[in-house]
Structure formats: structure tokens, C-alpha cells
């Protein structure tokens, strides 16, 4: 959806149906619960996830071969994510979080691994999942991770620590990145599939966050955790490649999420400005407010078109690393600008927790950080110039 209401590309009947389904779900199930979930701080809304699973939203992006909805194209994923995150950024991302687990599995996994690990994510009672890359000393520099995977008879032993892992503790299944060759950087990273409850795997306390509290983050500790060789994803040293291919997809999808959050803030501010009277007329008739709303609407259109263009290109098989970074950068900074603009338009009420825009501004900040900060996006773009 755009600020103009015009489809940027013609949609199929199936795409229109799922967009309408997600629009209704966001309006009826997600938006009314946003403040409550935010106030609860470290409790994920499992009932919303379960409700979404019953109508096919949590597995729509998984291949039909493994029981999913079959909308494997990134373009449709963007249409869905934008609608859900219009309802609430944190809840929208939580509802679709199994897609982030699935991406490296689809990129690197064998058919047997895909059937074993993706099938449980489909249907009305799916498992929860997590992807574990970040460490206390390794964020933007993913190749510098220090968690090790030492080869032993029949598999590997993992030792180390992860931080800021979304759904950690809640998730039943994990993709974990570790060094099979500590002497190398990117070429030494491998990926592994691990189930919750594996001996030696433990979790820290929930990490209290500024926003997007629907997704609870924890640390994960690996103390001599044995992983069978059959649960390694791809070849040794192929993990970083799989992670970067995953980032190309996830950055585009997160750009759609950020655009949804930006649109929510813009629409709320616009509607408020039409009703709020100051100096004898609605504040939308004051140029300072009207121009700010014009900037918000223009940036949203730009971010949305760039995001969908990147989605079309990756679906066509193009190398989109630069374009994905551009979309993520443009959309995340648009979300931050538009949520700031909404707070500014509401003035004192924008600063109040009685209205949702202050929460959305806190939520939007994460989009400039996760899956690569704005600084890293500029670095990626500049390296491709």
C-alpha cells in the first residue's frame, strides 16, 4: 500500500487476497494490541502468532513442497510485511519471524534437511525459530564471530556465546553460525541446525529494549554442545555465503516492514492534523505542518518503490546486494523520519504514551540497526559504486 492508494505494480488475484487478509489481520488483531505488548516489555504475544498461523500468515512464505503457502517470491513477502508492520512493527516482524530462519535453510540445506526442519513450521500449530549470528563482540563484523565448532567423531562440538538473538529461549529450532576454522574470517564460518534442549545449550535473561518488544531477545550460551554432522548446513566454510544471501532477502523484507511503520505514522499524523485546531483552523492548513506531512508522504513513496524494485530484481535472479542495502537504508531512515514527524505533529500528545506514535518512533529505531546498521548499508553501497 502507498500513500496514494495506487498499486505500484499490477497484482495477481492471489496477491490481492493475501494483502487483504493481512490488512484485516493487522487492523483487527495487531493494531489493538500494540500498546499492551509494548507495556509487557519481555513477553511475546504468542496468541497473536497462533491466530496468524491459523489463517496461514506465519508460513505463507514457505514452499508448498514442505507444507507452506507457496508465496516464496520476495515481492509478495514485502506486500505482506508492509501490511503487518503497519499494524505494529514489532508484532508484524514477530508473526513472520520463521521466514528469517527458513532463508539460510532454503539456500544451503539438503532436501532431507528442508523436509525435517521446515515442515514443523507449517500448519495451525507451528514451531518457533531463531537465527543466531550476533555475539557480544561481533555485530556489524559478522566474520569476526568467535563461537567455535570443533570437529569430533560424528559431528561437531560448539562452544561460545551469542547475543541479541530474537526468539531465543522461545524458539524450538535454531540456525547457529560458528567458526569451523578460527584462523579464517568469512571462509571459516559454518552454519548448524540445533534444537532447543540440546545438552550444553542455555539462555540468558530477556534483554530489555527500547522498542519492538514483541520479539524478545536473549543471549545463548554453548558449552560443549554436540551437533551431528548431518545437521551442518552446506559445506564447511559456506555459512558466511549463506548468511550474506540471506541478508539480501531479509534487508529487502525489512525495508518493507520499515515502510509499513512509516505509513502508519504518516496516516496517524495526517488524520490528527485534520482534526487538531490551533489559531482558528486545522493544523494541516498551517504550512509548517503541511510541508512536514508532504515530506513524509514523499519519502514513503520513494522507499516503497525502491523496496519493490529490489524485490522484483531479486526474484528475477539479479545480484541485488547494493540495491537491497539501498532499500534498507532508505526505508529505515524514512521510518525514523516519519515517526519523528508524527511525534512532532502531535506535539505534547505525541510525547504521551496515550498515543501510539512515541512507541512507533522507538520501534522504528531498530530498523536502522538490525540486519546491518545504516553505516554498514552505506559501506556496502559505496563498495559497489
Phi, psi of 353 (to 5 degrees): -75, 0
Please name which of 111, 82, 100 lies closest in space to residue 257, comparing C-alpha atoms: 82
| Contact call for residues 299 and 338 (beta carbons, < 8 A) | yes
Please name which of 99, 102, 96, 103 lies closest in space to residue 52, comparing C-alpha atoms: 96
CA dist 95 and 259 (Å) reads: 17
**Cβ-based neighbour number of residue 323 at 10 Å:** 23
Q: Which of 219, 367, 368, 371 is catalytic?
A: 371
Burial of residue 220 (CB within 10 Å: 0-12, 13-18, 19+) is buried
Cell of 101: 530462519
Contacts of 43 (CB under 8 A, 6+ apart): 37, 216
CA dist 189 and 181 (Å) reads: 7
Cell of 3: 500513500
Instruction: Identify any residues that bridge with 135 across adjacent strands, giving them in sequence order.
Output: 138
Phi, psi of 157 (to 5 degrees): -115, 120
Residue 371 is a catalytic residue: yes
Cell of 87: 499494524
What's the CA angle centered on 126, arms 362 and 251, to 5 degrees? 40
| Contact call for residues 58 and 96 (beta carbons, < 8 A) | yes
Q: H or E segment at 327?
A: helix 321-346
Residues noted as catalytic: 371
Amino acid at each position: 500500500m502507498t500513500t496514494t492508494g495506487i498499486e505500484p505494480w499490477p497484482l495477481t488475484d492471489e496477491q490481492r487476497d493475501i494483502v487483504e487478509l493481512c490488512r484485516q489481520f493487522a487492523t483487527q488483531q495487531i493494531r489493538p494490541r500494540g500498546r499492551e505488548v509494548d507495556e509487557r516489555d519481555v513477553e511475546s504475544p504468542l496468541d497473536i502468532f497462533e491466530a496468524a498461523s491459523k489463517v496461514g500468515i506465519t508460513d505463507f512464505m514457505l514452499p508448498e513442497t514442505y507444507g507452506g503457502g507457496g508465496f516464496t517470491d520476495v515481492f509478495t513477502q514485502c506486500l505482506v510485511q508492509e501490511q503487518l508492520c503497519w499494524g505494529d512493527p514489532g508484532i508484524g516482524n514477530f508473526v513472520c519471524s520463521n521466514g528469517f530462519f527458513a532463508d539460510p535453510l532454503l539456500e544451503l540445506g539438503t532436501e532431507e534437511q528442508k523436509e525435517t526442519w521446515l515442515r514443523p513450521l507449517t500448519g495451525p500449530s507451528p514451531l518457533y525459530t531463531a537465527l543466531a549470528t550476533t555475539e557480544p563482540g561481533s555485530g556489524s563484523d559478522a566474520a569476526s564471530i568467535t563461537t567455535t565448532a570443533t570437529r569430533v567423531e560424528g559431528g561437531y562440538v560448539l562452544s561460545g556465546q551469542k547475543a541479541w538473538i530474537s526468539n531465543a529461549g522461545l524458539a524450538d529450532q535454531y540456525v547457529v553460525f560458528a567458526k569451523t576454522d578460527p584462523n579464517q574470517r568469512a571462509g571459516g564460518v559454518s552454519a548448524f541446525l540445533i534444537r532447543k534442549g540440546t545438552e550444553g545449550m542455555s539462555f540468558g535473561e530477556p534483554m530489555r529494549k527500547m522498542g519492538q518488544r514483541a520479539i524478545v531477545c536473549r543471549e545463548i550460551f554453548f558449552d560443549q554442545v554436540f551437533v551431528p554432522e548431518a545437521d551442518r548446513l552446506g559445506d564447511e566454510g559456506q555459512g558466511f555465503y549463506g548468511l550474506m544471501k540471506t541478508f539480501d532477502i531479509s534487508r529487502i523484507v525489512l525495508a518493507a516492514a520499515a515502510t509499513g511503520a512509516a505509513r502508519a505514522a504518516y496516516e496517524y499524523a495526517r488524520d490528527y492534523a485534520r482534526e487538531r485546531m490551533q489559531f482558528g483552523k486545522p493544523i494541516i492548513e498551517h504550512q509548517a505542518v503541511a510541508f512536514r506531512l508532504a515530506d513524509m508522504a514523499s519519502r514513503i513513496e520513494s522507499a516503497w518503490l525502491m523496496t519493490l524494485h529490489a524485490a522484483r530484481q531479486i526474484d528475477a535472479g539479479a545480484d541485488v546486494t547494493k540495491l537491497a542495502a539501498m532499500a534498507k537504508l532508505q526505508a529505515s531512515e524514512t521510518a525514523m523520519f516519519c515517526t519523528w514527524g508524527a511525534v512532532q505533529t502531535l506535539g505534547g500528545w505525541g510525547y504521551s504514551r496515550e498515543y501510539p506514535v512515541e512507541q512507533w518512533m522507538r520501534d522504528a529505531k531498530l530498523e536502522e540497526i538490525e540486519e546491518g546498521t545504516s553505516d554498514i548499508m552505506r559501506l556496502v553501497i559505496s563498495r559497489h559504486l
